Structure 1
Amino acid sequence: MIRTLLSDKVWKKIEPILPGKEGDRGRTAADNRWFVEAVLWIARTGSPLRDLPSEFGRWHTVYMRFSRWRQTGVWQQVVNALAGETEIDHVLIDSTVVRAHQHSAGASKKCGPQALGRSRGGLSTKLHLAVDSAGRPLRLIITEGQVADISCAAELVEHLRTEAVIADKGYDSDAFVNQIRAARAKAVIPPRSNRKTKRRYSRALYRTRNLVERFFNRIKHFRRVSTRYDKLADSHLVFASLACSFGPLLNVNTA
């Protein structure tokens, strides 16, 4: 028997926005819930699509539908539906490196961005994440593994109205701190050791930064996120976004 993840409560949030409902153009999709379960099964187990259990249908059909939803923005609508509206007290940002399997390389450039970095340790990708003080995901960016954290900082917090931005020393930049202050928020970022003038920051607020680190730990229970197997950056971003959205709502046990 296949272990499923979707509860009725979560399904009711996303069901109305999925294509293939009665009244939509084209063929009616009666198996939307089972298809989402198939994608979550792949994300949780990290298995190749060709090893998808037959109960979910033909693996190639699942793959083509997954790609079609990615290209038409359906997965992003699912993420937005699960996020809902929320007031943001504090924004916490950080990044994590994801090791990429050797099979993730080799895609043609014309197929789309790959976001694969090469180093002595092999291929890698980096996920840059912003969460709120309740541990809910706000924004996710994917880059090559060697990209510096500060390079995505401005984009992570852009247009997010908050009282404070909390980050580690890797985000200590005059330009970034000025951007935060211009938005009338506090910059809770420890100064680097080589700064001549040390900037003050709230140590009490900084201690809450473990929220974003714990969030990374949670989404890496999805093995398709902890190791990258996808050739295209957009595909890996979909799996990471789904893990961010479904992870806090599901009791994920990979044992």
Structure 2
Amino acid sequence: MPRFCLTDAQWAKMEPFCLGEPTDPGRTGSDGRLFLEAILWIARTGSPWRDLPPAFGKWNTVFKRFRDWVKADVFKRMFDAASDDPDMEYAMIDATIVKVHRHGQGAKGGPQSQAIGKSKGGWTTKILALTDALGNLVRFVLLPGQRFDTVGVAPLIEGVEFGALLADKAFDSDWIITELNKRGAQIVISQHPRRSAPIAIDMELYKARHLIQNFFCKLKEFRRIALRADKTDQSFTAMIRLAAALINSR
């Protein structure tokens, strides 16, 4: 199944963060590359874990190992390794909505315990992302679908240096403008029609914003992400990080 296979270069970046050794007993140290490819098969196809092809091993063993790695923040470290040299000449911020599949509902505590909310599209989750000048993911946060985009901006830009910030008019907020002025960062945010004194922006630079849209398109090629099928934010975040690590390292 070559479509789901990691390249040697991608595996070289991820291998140091795999838990266990091949000689370890049980599920801890079995073939790490095959295990990651099993998760990618699930992510790409959107299939239930029970439908995992036998070539990848027993589905319940793979699922339990996935949850072990999620709890140990392995996928965060893999994503960080694949995203360690961002081009921050400018940054882009935007959000995309994903519908929550029936398999993604029913977590303990109900939807209110996860980033799942009721919007016009039904039960949805919002992925708010910050990318670099190449359109590669730097950070993201999950929000319930009905929340305003600006709610998650502060943790995305905290401690991140960039020369300019590109965004659409959903992010034309006074506090964001003030924060960018404090930083001395160029403001390339489409102005809301209701703004009394619109800020002149570099429209040629603004055109580069299509790169973050391209990133979302690539991310949604993974059906398990496009139709959120993970009950918990923790597992959904891990799936996004693994997919983004592949996208960033292409």
- What band does the TM-score fall into relative to the shorter chain? over 0.9
Aligned twin of 2:124: 124
Whether the aligned pair in 2 keeps the contact of 1:135 and 1:211 (CA below 8 Å) is yes
Q: Deviations over 1:207-239 (max 9, x none)?
A: 111110111011111111110111111111111
* Aligned-residue offset at 1:101: 1.1
How far off is 1:152 after superposition?
A: 1.1
User: In 2, distance between residues paired with 1:26 and 1:112?
Assistant: 36
Q: Which amino acid aligns with 1:227?
A: L
Supply the distance in 1 between the matched residues of 2:193 and 2:69 (Cα, whole angstroms): 47
Distance 1:228 1:78 in 2: 21
SS in 2 for 1:43: helix
Query: How many Å separate the matches in 1 of 2:147 and 2:110?
Result: 22
For the 8 Å contact 2:28–2:65, the answer to whether it is kept is no
User: What amino acid maps onto 1:50 in structure 2?
Assistant: R
Q: 1:138 to 1:25 in 2, by over 3 A?
A: farther
**Runs of 4+ in structure 1 over 6 Å off:** 22-28
Equivalent pair of 1:112/1:232 in contact (CA under 8 Å):
no
Shift of 1:249: 3.8
Shift of 1:86: 3.2
Q: Which runs of 5+ in 2 are unaligned?
A: none
Q: CA deviation at 1:35?
A: 0.4
Partner of 1:138: 138
* Structure 1 residue 90, shift from structure 2 partner: 0.5
Question: C-alpha separation between the residues in 2 aligned to 1:64 and 1:168?
Answer: 41
Contact in 1 for aligned 2:126/2:145 (Cα 8 Å): yes
| Matching residue of 1:253 | none
1:158 aligns to what? 158
- How big is the shift at 1:103? 2.7
Q: Which amino acid aligns with 2:60?
A: H
Alignment of 1:222-241 (within 5 A): 222-241=222-241
Once the 2 structures are TM-superposed, how far is the Cα of residue 27 of structure 1 from its aligned partner?
8.0
- Structure-1 residue corresponding to 2:60: 60
Comparing 10-19 and 165-174, the one that deviates more: 10-19
Give the number of aligned pairs.
250
2:175 — aligned with what?
175
Amino acid at match of 1:167: A
Q: Post-superposition shift, 1:115?
A: 1.0
Code of the residue aligned with 1:235 in structure 2: it is S
Sort the Cα spacing of 1:22 and 1:158 in 2 relative to 1 into closer, same or farther, 3 A.
same
Pairing of 1:198-209 with structure 2 (within 5 A): 198-209=198-209
What's 1:32 paired with? 32
Alignment of 1:98-109 (within 5 A): 98-109=98-109
CA gap of 1:52–1:28, structure 2 versus 1, over 3 A, is closer
Distance 1:27 1:45 in 2: 23
Give RMSD over aligned pairs. Answer: 2.3
Among the aligned pairs, what percent are the same residue?
37
Cα pair 1:228 1:236 within 8 Å, conserved: yes
Query: How much has 1:113 moved relative to structure 2?
Result: 3.8
Give 1:104's aligned amino acid: G
CA distance in 1, matches of 2:47, 2:25: 33
CA distance in 2, matches of 1:23, 1:55: 20
Q: Please report the TM-score for the alignment, with normalisation by the length of structure 1.
A: 0.91
Q: Evaluate the alpha carbon distance shift between residue 22 and residue 48 of structure 1 in structure 2; reply closer, same or farther with a 3 A threshold.
A: closer
